[in-house]
Every structure is written in structure tokens, then in C-alpha cells.
Structure 1
């Protein structure tokens, strides 16, 4: 890291020399503009609208315009402002950290000791630790007087610039003034959903999916060139996204809870969703779930519908099996009847033969 500024923290009569470093950085992939016809890079020129000439940066000054009047301010005039020349981070208050509005936080900086002995630095850090407070400071950086909060992170002093009160907009939304009634059941369901998603925050478990996919697209483009197939690269059609659907609030809460609980049960039993939806379960176990769902005044949940579908599928399978068994039984019965008929027929023929012999025996007499 490279220091962007040097100064000193004024802690009463104690002076703490420090170097200031940006604590954060942008991880986004840098893209620039080009002409789509030939790939030539697009450059912007600083052109004067009066004379039409391209102006070098060194010949550009800043100005303020109001009511048709323009005031030009040179670099030397801006640097002459006392606050701009100050390299002091002045501690003005020590406040409880919970009193700071998170919306006011702007940018974070690391402060490194900038002296042969870091004793004053450690003393200030210990004072913040012992009192469990945050130091409110004022300082000037990059042509702007700033308000800041001085806190500790891993034994390092961190300076967080704060927005001024008039830089935070008021939220005025008439829709929130309407009388909205939330039922006790809706509150219980939402609380249960929160509990099912509760966890300790671990920022390393989250990924900037857009940047990952952008890198994937760039690498695929380098390999395949203009023959790139975005659907094949990402597995979905380009531009495909989620489609919003207006649904009942209670239904949404129930479905969300069922999804969370279902995922937990599947993980505990080692059963995948595909295995759970094969429809091979017995028809009887699904009935209690349907009865419980029928008793509930709320709409059917996705789980209840799934159970009903499974029950129907099981009944259909059972019906088919029964029909098959019935058909097989009928076929067997038919065959048995046929055999019986054949036997009777054979018996009749056998009985007829002696009678015929007896008739032939009587003729000579």
C-alpha cells in the first residue's frame, strides 16, 4: 500500500504522527469504451466551448457559477484556504459507538504510526479500548473538510470519514403513512422465517457473482472470439432473469418456510429433491399431511400441494397395480375356465365313445 496523506492526530496536548492509507479498494474488472466498428479506443478531449481548442489539463482552473455570474478560482487560491493546508486530525469528542448512524459512514482509512516511537499511537488506542468509545475527529483531505470517526480494528487505528448531516437525505414516502394491518400469524411466520435463516455474519462466504461471470465471459471470448455462444457459456439464455410474480403474503411466507425446512430435512436425511419427488411413496402416509393442510385456514403450501401430488401419484400407481392384478386374475380365471371347458369337452367325448361302442355292439343282435 502507498500512503495517500501524512498528518498527526491531535489528542489533547498529545501529538500522534500518522500515515494515512486507503483501507478499501474496488475489485471490479476495469472496462473501457471502444468503437464497435474497428475496436479503436474512445478518448475524451477537454475542448473549450468558446474558442473550440483542446485545452491541456495544466491550463484548466475551477469555477463557480450562480445567477449567470462565473467566479474562476485558481489552484493557488484554493490552496490558500486555511483548512486545506491543515494536516491535523483533531479529536473533538469521544462518543459511544452505537450513537453513530451507519448511513453516515463514507470511506475507511488505515492509520500507521509515523514516528520512531509509536508510544503515543498505542496510548490513544488503549484509551479507546479502555473507555469503549469512538473518537469523533475533524480533518481536511483532498480539498474538503471532513468529519470522521476514529476506531480500532485488529490493533490498528481506523479513520472512517463521515457524511455531514445535510448530506444525508430525509426519507419521505407517503405510502408508509397508510394504516397497514399485520396479523399475528403473519408476524409469527415472518419471525420463524428469520430464525430459519439466522447465522453469524461471515463476509468471506459471499461472492460477487457478476464479476465472476464477467471474468468467465472475457476468458470465453478470448478463446472463442466472435463465435462465442453465451447460452452455452453460462448455461442460460443471455438476458434471462427472474420474473416477478405478485403472490399472497402468507402464501409467500409459508412457501419460504417450507423451502428452508425442506432443505434442512433433505440435508439431514441425505435425500435429494429428485428422490423426494419420484412419487414412489406409499399412498397412506401422505393422507395426514393433506388433512392437516385442509384444517389450516391459510392457503395450501407448496409442501402440501407436493404431498397431495405424491399421494395422487401413489394412488394412481396403486390403481394401475390393482388394475394389472385384476387383469392378470381375470386372465388366469379365463385360462382356468378354458381348461375346465376343455376337460369337460374331453370328458364328453370320452363318454360318447363307449356309448357308440355299445350301439355298435347291439346291431349284430
Structure 2
């Protein structure tokens, strides 16, 4: 894997230099639109919907369409004024019970690997998350935009690692515009439903999941290649500083958190 981002996790006065790796990859089957006669790829022109003329890249701008259909053109100067950040810090805001995070909010997942100087505080944070059964709510800047995220621990064959999962913003979660109305449910029906659940009960094993569609496409393509049904075309072809005294930094962080809540330090 190749690191896509480098920075540091900070909680209190403790800083953990880390590397970020994509934790998932899509293997969705994708097809290209081609000319059935010779396999040539289909190209699309950039045509203006108003005058019907082809538009060169130099004349293409970004536009924001309002709810009433008006188009607001944004210049490069406008875009430069938007708030962006290049921060390399993953700042822990709080530690919350893991069950309080709705899985619907999870967006993308990344593995965090500590730099050599951050191995010990990384292990400390990992153990603290495991023993408390909590996740760390953080903010992180990816692609110059700040996003909410959580840190949690995932067990893997290579060992336990901290995972960063970005979250959807609250207003991106849609509310269903329908309700389910049912009549009276009989106790016998409930009992039968429970029996069905118990009959199909088991443990989740990801290895049992198979992508039949992808396998079928691969088999079909392989058969066509072996049968000679192939069109040959020209297109075939060092971060935040290390905290020296980790214990002292943790103690100071706890005292500061207590004082922030109005509690007596000691």
C-alpha cells in the first residue's frame, strides 16, 4: 500500500505522527462504451446546452445551480477565497461510546500507521480505545477540506490497527419521507418470526460473501479471449514534534480537561 497522507494525531499534549492508507478498494465491474464494429472507444464532446457549440477547456468554469434553477458562475478568484486548510493534524475532540455513532454516517475508511517515533503513543491510544470501548471523534483535513471523523481499533491478521473513518455531515443524512403502517400483529406471528430468526442465526463471516456478478463477467471475458473474440485497437495497450515525557504529557492533558469542565485538578 502507498501512504496518501502524512500528519499527526493529537490528543491533549500527546502527538502521534502517522501515515494514512486507504483501507478499502472497489472491484466494481466497469464497462467502456465502444463502437460495436471495431471496438473503438466512444468520445464525448463538451457541447454547450444553449448555443450547441463545442466548448474548449479554457472556457469552462465552475457553476453553482441554485434551488430555483439559477446558475451562479464562480471564478478562480472566487474559489481561492473559499475556506480551505492544509492542516496535517488529526485533532481529537472527545471520546464517545461507540454505539452513539450511527453506521449510516460512515463514509470512507483509512488505516493509520505510526511513524517510528510515534509507535509508543500510538500503542497507548490504541489500548485506551480498546479498553474504554469508545471511539475518538476527530477533525481531519483531506484534500484541503475539513471533515469530521472517528478513530477506532480494528483487529486484522497483521495485528490491531487504528482506523480513521470519515463521517457524513449531519445534513447529508436523508430522512425517509414515508412511514410504515401495519395493522394488528398477532402473537403467533411474532413467535413464528422469532423462530425464523433463531433458525437462521449465526456468526458473520466476510469470507462467505461472493461477488457472483464479477466472477461471471471475468469468466465470460476469459472465454471470449480464448475464443479469439478480441478487438485490437490503438488504445489497447517528519511531522509534529515527539513528546519526550509521555506520562507527564498525559497527566497535564487530564488536568487541563478537568479544569475545562470546572472540576478540581489533583
Give the match's secondary structure for 1:89: strand
1:201 aligns to 2:204 (yes or no): yes
Q: Which residue of 2 aligns with 1:114?
A: 115
Which of 39, 52, 62 is 2:54 aligned to?
Answer: 52
Name the larger-Rg structure: 1
User: In the superposition, relative to structure 1, how do residues 69 and 199 fare at CA in structure 2: closer, same or farther (>3 Å)?
Assistant: closer
Distance 1:2 1:60 in 2: 33
Q: Which residue of 2 aligns with 1:87?
A: 88
Q: Which residue of 2 aligns with 1:170?
A: 175
1:185 aligns to 2:210 (yes or no): no
- On the 8 A contact 1:5/1:20 being kept in 2, the answer is yes
Distance 2:167 2:161 in 1: 19
- On the 8 A contact 2:61/2:74 being kept in 1, the answer is no
Aligned length: 220
User: Where do residues 84-163 of structure 1 align in structure 2 (5 Å cutoff)?
Assistant: 84-154=85-155, 155-163=160-168
Distance 1:216 1:111 in 2: 36
| Greater RCO (Cα-Cα under 8 Å, separation 6 or more) | 2
Q: Which runs of 5 or more residues in structure 1 are unaligned?
A: 227-365
User: Where do residues 232-251 of structure 1 align in structure 2 (5 Å cutoff)?
Assistant: none
Q: Deviations over 1:124-151 (max 9, x none)?
A: 1122123221100111212432111100
Give the match's secondary structure for 1:128: helix
Distance 1:12 1:116 in 2: 18
TM superposition shift of 1:69: 3.4
Q: Deviations over 1:303-326 (max 9, x none)?
A: xxxxxxxxxxxxxxxxxxxxxxxx
Distance 1:75 1:123 in 2: 44
- On the 8 A contact 1:48/1:55 being kept in 2, the answer is no
- Larger helix share, 1 or 2: 1
1:220 aligns to 2:223 (yes or no): yes
Q: Deviations over 1:194-246 (max 9, x none)?
A: 111111110101211111111111112223356xxxxxxxxxxxxxxxxxxxx
- On the 8 A contact 1:111/1:156 being kept in 2, the answer is yes
Give the match's secondary structure for 2:57: coil
- Larger strand share, 1 or 2: 2
Distance 1:68 1:215 in 2: 44
1:12 aligns to 2:15 (yes or no): no
User: In the superposition, relative to structure 1, how do residues 7 and 61 fare at CA in structure 2: closer, same or farther (>3 Å)?
Assistant: farther
Q: Deviations over 1:236-289 (max 9, x none)?
A: xxxxxxxxxxxxxxxxxxxxxxxxxxxxxxxxxxxxxxxxxxxxxxxxxxxxxx
Q: Deviations over 1:45-93 (max 9, x none)?
A: 556777734327xx86544354443222359816x73x42112111001
Give the match's secondary structure for 1:118: helix
- On the 8 A contact 1:6/1:87 being kept in 2, the answer is yes
Structure 1 vs Structure 2 CA RMSD: 2.5
TM superposition shift of 1:14: 1.2
Give the match's secondary structure for 2:27: coil
Q: Deviations over 1:115-172 (max 9, x none)?
A: 4341221121122123221100111212432111100113211001111111100112
User: In the superposition, relative to structure 1, how do residues 20 and 203 fare at CA in structure 2: closer, same or farther (>3 Å)?
Assistant: same
Q: Which runs of 5 or more residues in structure 2 are unaligned?
A: 230-266
TM-score relative to the length of structure 2: 0.74
TM-score relative to the length of structure 1: 0.55
- On the 8 A contact 1:64/1:72 being kept in 2, the answer is no
